[in-house]
Amino acid sequence: MQLGFVGTGTMGNPMARCLIEAGHQLTVHDLRREATSNLCDLGARWADTPHATAQASEVVFTSLPGPAEVERAMVDPSTGILAGLKAGGACIDMTTNAPSVVRRIAEACRARGVEFLDAPVSGRPPGMTIMVGGQATTFARYHPLLEAMGRNIFYVGETGAGCIAKLVTQYLGYTNFVTSLEGLLIAAKAGIDLGILAQIVPVSAGASRTFDNIPRSVLSGEFTAGGTLDIVAKDLHLACELAREVGAPAHTGSIADDVMKRAQAQGWGQRGFPIAARVLEAMAGVELRAAGLKHEGGYQEKDPRRG
């Protein structure tokens, strides 16, 4: 199939590579042409604009930083995807986006006879999770393309439902991160050895996959796990906006949102998101560090001979 991919950065690039490896012909565009070079080496064709990408494609995928970037790439009258995609084609947005924005884009697609799915992702291809919103018939038609990139593929419901599911999972993960840090700060201020606590939590009531990353990303002082602070802050803010739109309580999210914004104000936006721990450390007047951690990540039990 003739496919297009707009946005070949950290997430888009490996997804596009999966589509090439599945045997599809791919036309690619990114604001940074160098972000497409490895894909072109594999046989993809470069296009100067999203419009040109769409002209060469039956289906166009987008994986972009956020709602504003997706809307611009889709509907710009001179350079946008919809200006170049033929009726009967399809757009699949894999960005973590705002439900209101994808609904607006889906309406613009329908007006031009183009199908649309919102399909944000979690994890890394080819084993990632894909959450899909849109018409069930459209989902069924393009399910094989999604299978080339992900292992766990869920049809969530109407347009915007995929984005809602993704934002909820982001809300759960990053509020859990901030809550876990607060718990560790309580322990540090009360004099508990954080290295020992890091072994207790995974086998007790506080266990979570989010906490499991904290020893190597925060207690080590490296702050290197996961996506950038800017991306995480964007996702969490969108989740909090969604909560306000639907009238759901999001008190913990408001706190986490504030922590992320404070960290961005320090100029840490392109650092790994765990750098936000330094905001809470400053508030508490204590650093969250533990001895006996491997540099490459993971907890290493102390040698009892060294005390």
**Which class does domain 164-300 fall in?**
mainly alpha
Task: Dig out the tokens for 281 from the structure.
Answer: 């450390």
Q: What is the pLDDT of residues 119-154, one digit of tens each?
A: 999 999 999 999 999 999 999 999 999 999 999 999
pLDDT at 297 over 50: no
Question: Is residue 294 annotated as a catalytic residue, yes or no?
Answer: no
In which band, very low, low, confident or very high, does the pLDDT at 225 lie, cut at 50, 70 and 90? Answer: confident
In whole angstroms, give the CA distance from residue 305 to residue 48.
63
Q: What is the pLDDT of residue 292?
A: 59
Global pTM? 0.92
pLDDT at 229 over 70: yes
Q: Mean pLDDT for the chain?
A: 94
Catalytic residue among 166, 234, 261, 294: 166
One CATH from 1.10.287.3510, 2.60.40.420, 3.90.1570.10, 3.40.50.720 for 2-158: 3.40.50.720
Residue 226 confidence (pLDDT): 78
Query: In the structure, what pLDDT confidence band is assigned to residue 247 with cuts at 50, 70 and 90?
Result: very high
Pick from 117, 175, 110, 112: nearest CA to 146 = 117
Q: CA-to-CA distance for 109 and 89, rounded, in angstroms?
A: 9
**CATH 1.10.1040.10 domain extents, the chain:** 164-300
- Report the alpha-carbon distance of residue 36 to residue 6 in Å, rounded: 10
Which part of the chain has CATH 3.40.50.720?
2-158
In tens, the pLDDT along 87-114 reads: 999 999 999 999 999 999 999 999 999 9
